[in-house]
Amino acid sequence: MSFYAISSFFAAMMVCGLALIIYVGSKNYSSKIFSYTIASIGVWALSIAFGYSYAGTNMVLSDFCIRSSYFLGTLIAISFFYFSITFPENYEPSPRIRNFFAFLSLPIVLFYFAKDISTLFGSTLVSEQTIMTGTYISKGHLRWSFGAYDIFFHILFFSFFSAALAVLWQKYKQQTEETLRKQALYMFWALFIGVVPAGLANAALPGVGIFDYFWPGIMGVFGWVCVMSYTIIKQSQLSIKTVTNELLVVAITLIILIGMFV
């Protein structure tokens, strides 16, 4: 397993561990949604880890894992938009709105995996991949090429993140309670500072053939998640020290497991 795969796997498990800690320790609706959101980031990093680990040995699985990461990236952007609606007032949207967001992923799955689904049912209706056409090895590193409709990923990704930022900024301007106002502002800047470099390294630059910053972007995402989680942990009245200790346990366990199996 390559260093890229190991580091991506480590970042994925740390993010998932943090998501679980917040989910178990929190009773707020917005905190639960945040834990789901960062869990999807962990699964995204995990798909990248498997994509790198299969590179050179099973390019079909590597291709599927990397293509799945683009669907998960879109899902993360949508999840952050939904989270921005609930935060910081701990607002729970109506069942109609919740159902809309729940089923929004269905047409995206059908579009991103159109050729895979078509092939699964023995049809040749869709002859080419829509978002990503395949993975390949170049100069010892994993690379991938994009389909004719990859622009839709960039539109969805940056549109939903922009909408989330707009909602948080509007809440900061309109909120009268000072504590909630500060939380909205902190989350706005945490999201903005995180999504700009992460979006460039993991979404925009690979779209124009620059993959050199993709792996560092994954490691940076873990730090970004920790920064955003600070407000959620404080809002949920969880102990920062306790959460840090629990994350250290997760990290030590992962390091031991990696040392045993790699």
pTM of the predicted protein model: 0.87
Mean pLDDT over residues 218-238, rounded? Answer: 74
Around 137, how many Cα atoms within 13 Å sit in the side-chain half-sphere? 12
User: DSSP state, 18?
Assistant: H
Which structural domain range is residue 98 located in?
A: 3-261
CATH code: domain of residue 73:
1.20.1070
Instruction: Encode pLDDT of 16-60 as tens digits.
Output: 888 888 888 878 899 899 999 999 999 998 898 888 888 878 888
Residue 209's pLDDT is 84
User: What domain count does the chain have?
Assistant: 1
Distance of alpha carbon 235 from alpha carbon 228, whole angstroms: 12
Q: What percentage of the chain exceeds 70 in pLDDT?
A: 86
Which one is predicted more confidently, 75 or 208? Answer: 75
How far apart CA 64 and CA 115 sit, in angstroms, is 12
The pLDDT value given to residue 93:
92
Q: What angle do CA 53, 55, 56 make, to 5 degrees?
A: 125
pLDDT digits (tens, 9 = 90+) for 68-123: 999 999 999 999 999 999 999 889 999 999 999 988 888 888 888 888 887 777 77
- Mean pLDDT, residues 227-243: 69
Q: Provide CB contacts within 8 A for 47, sequence distance 6+.
A: 65, 66, 68, 69, 72
The pLDDT value given to residue 136: 87
Residue 221 has pLDDT above 90, yes or no: no
For residues 112-136, give the mean pLDDT: 79
